[in-house]
Structures are given as structure tokens and as C-alpha cells.
């Protein structure tokens, strides 16, 4: 039963659940109040019956005592007997120790089941019996007589309370009907209130259902929702804004990717077509092959960068961190780019030595991308500085150039994929993914990357990595 309930309960609608809770709470309250009222009525009725029987027995004791003292009944005693004869709901008997009836009221025969069930020592007891084909309820009281025959040992009195039991039964039936009607009405009322209360939820659901790829910027929170639903609407709008941004980035990325792949492929096809147009000299074939190799390497770099970014986005890129000396890494970079820098007439310079936890290969790739980017935008006679420093419990790695600089409107977009400040200048030797790779590497290490630039004076890229204890000591 419990497993079935646990399986079916989640299928109920929110309206059904709240209505069930509301109806259940009303049912518990109504049943509790009804039970208290009924219990109080029963207690008061029983107390009235017991008081009535007790008073009647006391008077009967006085009658027996008066008869014992005067040997003959007085006037008030005759009146009591006559009154008892006119009151058929009460009867009494005097019995000896063997149960023999010594005296009794005229109607005692109709109370025999009650007398038979009387127990000495109990103040009051209730007895149900079948008398003349009718269900009867008696209140019985057995006590030792204060007067009467010398061998009398027990005075047993009984009161017919069948009418009171019928009253209680009728009250119970009416109360049961009232409880059922109340629960039914409360269920209907609860359902109506819940339906009305959840109307804004249905309205917000209709608005959400109208959102589609062409309407990702639709704002649900613009309507005047209740406080609870307004939080939901704001959260949904924030979610849709993130989805819209991701969708736009994906669309732009798909378009850029197609464009970027098309350019080297077209170059390959054009070079091959032109070469095949007529017979060529070995030197011309060699030039064509050089173009093919260059464009193939460009495609290879682009695919490698794309795979790296895809793994980083899906948290599948593994980071094998260990302690790295920035001076050693800077030295390797200076040695690697030294020949290219000499060709460009640019001086490479390394400053600072800090220890940090990083994946050496990924760190080298990020710095290489920044240095290569700086070389492409530095003029002859310029200088590129690699600097390591501590900044607010973090290790900052700066790549500084004194080249042409970057306009402020381009800075927020520099790390987007395939974004180029000057597409005409950099399309031939750049994939447009280098800075995106740098940002992904920084984020994989729990750090970040930023850029500052002044047109005509140069640009500074800063990689921030969490500092190690050894790095802080250094």
C-alpha cells in the first residue's frame, strides 16, 4: 500500500494535492471538535443519569429506614410508593446474601436482566439487555441497605436510560451527517480556492509555452505576478537570457567556423586549380606546395584549438598541475621565440620569478599564444616583457608590448572565438581562437585573464592564477 501510494502520489496535480491537504485539515478539525462536543454531551448526560439514580436510591433508603422505625408506612412514604408506581423507569430490589429477593418495586420484573448483572462494590454500571423484544439500556447501582429486613444484604436499583441512548444515537447520526457535508463542502471550497489561487501559475505557464527559438528574449517577469511567482518569473527570465546568449554565441560561432574553414579550403582549391591550369616549373610547383602546407597547418591549428575548447567547455580537459617556476618557463619562451622576434626587430625580456601550481604544457600554450599575439602587433624596434608578480594572494603573469594598442570598444570582445580587431591584417596568420584558448586555460586553473590597452602605447594581458604557499614565501 505504501509503495503504491508513494508511486501514485507524485502523479497528482498541484491542485489535487493542495485540495487534499485542505480537505484533510478541515476534516481533522471538524472531527476533533465534533468528538469533543459529543464526549461532553455524553459526560453531562451520564452525570445527570447517575445523579438521578443516586437521589432516587437515597430517597428509597429513607423510605425503608422510615418503615423500619415506625413499623408502618407514613403518609409521605405512601405518596413515594405511588409516585414510584407512576415512574416506570426506576425499579429496586432487596436481596439477601444468597440472592433471594426479599422486597422490591412493583415493576421489578421488567428489570430482571439489569438486576442480574449488578455487581456489588461498583458505584454505577451500564447494562444492555433485550427486554420483551426491545433493546434496553439500564443504569444499575448496588449498595448495602441502611434499613429493611435483618437478612437484607444488598439494595439494587436500576434506571431505564434507553431514551437517553436513543437521543445519543440520533445525535451521533446527525453529527456524522454534518461532518460528511462539511468535509464535502470544504473539499469543493478548497478546490475552488486553489484553482483561483493557481490561476497566475497557469497564466505564467501559458506565457512560457509561447517561448520559442525566435522569441528567446521574451520577458515573463514583466507582468504583475504574486511575490512567489515573481521570483520564479525572474529566475526563468535569467535562464532564458543565458540561453539566448549561448544560442547567439553558438549561432555566431557556427557562422564564424564555416567562414574560417572556408577561407583556407578556398585557398587550397584555388592554388591547386591555378597550378593545374597549365604546365608549371618545379619552382612554381614548390610555391604551390608551400601554400598548401601553410593552409593545411592553419587548418590543423584551428582544429586543434577547437578540440581543446570543446574539451574545456565539457570539463573533459585534464589539468596535471605541479609546481612551476615562472623564470624557467619564461626562459623557454624567450628561447623559442627569439629567432622570430629578431626577424620582427622586437626584443623579448623576462622579469620576476614566482612559484605557482599549473600544468606546464597548458601554461606554456597560454603564454605562447599571448607572445605570438604581441609579436603580430608590435612594430620593429618594439619590446615585449614577460613579468611575474604577486598580486592579492594570486600570481599575476603579464605579457606587455608597446605596439599599436587596441581601441576600448574591442577589449570586451577580444576573448570571443574568431573575433579579430583587424581581420584584414591577421586573417593570414591567425585562427582567431588563440585568446579564447588562453581564457579557457586560465579558467581551468581556477584563474582568469584580463587585458588593458592604450591605442598607440601598447597592450598588457594579465593571467591570474591562485597563489601557492611557496609562491607567497618567494
What's the CA angle centered on 58, arms 54 and 59, to 5 degrees? 120
* Closest CA relative to residue 159, chosen from 248, 80, 54, 35: 54
Chain region(s) in the chain for CATH 3.30.565.10: 318-473
pTM: 0.48
Mean pLDDT comparison of 61-75, 146-160, 175-189, highest-scoring range: 175-189
CATH of domain 12-176: 3.30.450
* Contacts for 22 with CB less than 8 Å, ≥ 6 apart: 186, 187, 190, 193, 194
Residues of the chain with CATH 3.30.450: 12-176
pLDDT in tens, 212-246: 776 666 677 666 777 777 788 788 778 878 877 77
pLDDT given for residue 462 in this prediction: 93
Q: Which residue has the higher pLDDT, 190 or 221?
A: 190
pLDDT, tens digit, 9 for 90 and up, residues 325-357: 999 999 998 998 888 889 889 999 999 899 888
Please check the confidence at residue 398 and state whether its pLDDT lies above 90.
Answer: yes
Q: Percent of the chain having pLDDT more than 90? A: 8
Question: Where are the domain boundaries for CATH 1.10.287.130 in the chain?
Answer: 227-311
- Asked whether 398 and 386 are in contact (CB, 8 A), the reply is yes
User: Using alpha carbons only, how large is the chain's radius of gyration in Å?
Assistant: 51
Task: Estimate to the nearest angstrom the gap between the alpha carbon of 144 and the chain centroid.
Answer: 72
Per-residue pLDDT tens over the stretch 403-435? 888 888 888 888 877 776 665 444 455 666 778
Q: What is the mean pLDDT of residues 18-36?
A: 87
The mean of the pLDDT values for the chain is: 78
Q: Is residue 453 within 8 Å of 405, Cβ to Cβ?
A: yes
Among 48-57, 223-232, 254-263, 267-276, the least confident range: 254-263
Closest CA to 147 of 65, 62, 92, 58: 65
Helices 162-197 + 199-209 axis angle, to 10: 30
Q: Are 399 and 371 in contact (CB under 8 A)?
A: yes
Domain boundaries 227-311, CATH class: mainly alpha
Class of domain 318-473: alpha beta
Amino acid at each position: 500500500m505504501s509503495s503504491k501510494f508513494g508511486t501514485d502520489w507524485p502523479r497528482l496535480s498541484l491542485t489535487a494535492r493542495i485540495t487534499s491537504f485542505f480537505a484533510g485539515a478541515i476534516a481533522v478539525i471538524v472531527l476533533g471538535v465534533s468528538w469533543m462536543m459529543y464526549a461532553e454531551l455524553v459526560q453531562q448526560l451520564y452525570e445527570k443519569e447517575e445523579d438521578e439514580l443516586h437521589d432516587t436510591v437515597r430517597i428509597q433508603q429513607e423510605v425503608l429506614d422510615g418503615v423500619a422505625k415506625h413499623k408502618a408506612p407514613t403518609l409521605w412514604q405512601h405518596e413515594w410508593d405511588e409516585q414510584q408506581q407512576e415512574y416506570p423507569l426506576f425499579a429496586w430490589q432487596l436481596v439477601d446474601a444468597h440472592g433471594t429477593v426479599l422486597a422490591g418495586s412493583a415493576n421489578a420484573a421488567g428489570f430482571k436482566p439489569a438486576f442480574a448483572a449488578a455487581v456489588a462494590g461498583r458505584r454505577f454500571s451500564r447494562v444492555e439487555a433485550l427486554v420483551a423484544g426491545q433493546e434496553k439500556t439500564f443504569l444499575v447501582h448496588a449498595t448495602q441497605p441502611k434499613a429493611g429486613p435483618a437478612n437484607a444484604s444488598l439494595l439494587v436499583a436500576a434506571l431505564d436510560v434507553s431514551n437517553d441512548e436513543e437521543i445519543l444515537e440520533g445525535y451521533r447520526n446527525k453529527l456524522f451527517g454534518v461532518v460528511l457535508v462539511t468535509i464535502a463542502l470544504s473539499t469543493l471550497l478548497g478546490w475552488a480556492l486553489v484553482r483561483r489561487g493557481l490561476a497566475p501559475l497557469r497564466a505564467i505557464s501559458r506565457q512560457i509555452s509561447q517561448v520559442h527559438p525566435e522569441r528567446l528574449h521574451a520577458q515573463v517577469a514583466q507582468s504583475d505576478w504574486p511575490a512567489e511567482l515573481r521570483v520564479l518569473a525572474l529566475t526563468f527570465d535569467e535562464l532564458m537570457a543565458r540561453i539566448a546568449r549561448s544560442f547567439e554565441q553558438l549561432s555566431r560561432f557556427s557562422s564564424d567556423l564555416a567562414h574560417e574553414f572556408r577561407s583556407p579550403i578556398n585557398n587550397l582549391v584555388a592554388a591547386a586549380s591555378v597550378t593545374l591550369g597549365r604546365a608549371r616549373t618545379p619552382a612554381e610547383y614548390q610555391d604551390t606546395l608551400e601554400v598548401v602546407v601553410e593552409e593545411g597547418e592553419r587548418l590543423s591549428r584551428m582544429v586543434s584549438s577547437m578540440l581543446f575548447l570543446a574539451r574545456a567547455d565539457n570539463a573533459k580537459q585534464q589539468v596535471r598541475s605541479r609546481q612551476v617556476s615562472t623564470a624557467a618557463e619564461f626562459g623557454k619562451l624567450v628561447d623559442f621565440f627569439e629567432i622570430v622576434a629578431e626577424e620582427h626587430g622586437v626584443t623579448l625580456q623576462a622579469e620576476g620569478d614566482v612559484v605557482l601550481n599549473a600544468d606546464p604544457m597548458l601554461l606554456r600554450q597560454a603564454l605562447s599564444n599571448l607572445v605570438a599575439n604581441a609579436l603580430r602587433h608590435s612594430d620593429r624596434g618594439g619590446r615585449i616583457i614577460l613579468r611575474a608578480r604577486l598580486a592579492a594572494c594570486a600570481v599575476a603573469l603579464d605579457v606587455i608590448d608597446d605596439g599599436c594598442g587596441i581601441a576600448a570598444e574591442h577589449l570586451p570582445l577580444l576573448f570571443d572565438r574568431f573575433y579579430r580587431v583587424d581581420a584584414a591584417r591577421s586573417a593570414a596568420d591567425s585562427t582567431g581562437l588563440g585568446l579564447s584558448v588562453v581564457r579557457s586555460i586560465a579558467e581551468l586553473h581556477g584563474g582568469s585573464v584580463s587585458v588593458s590597452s592604450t591605442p598607440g602605447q601598447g597592450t598588457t594581458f594579465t593571467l591570474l592564477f591562485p597563489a601557492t604557499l611557496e609562491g607567497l614565501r618567494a
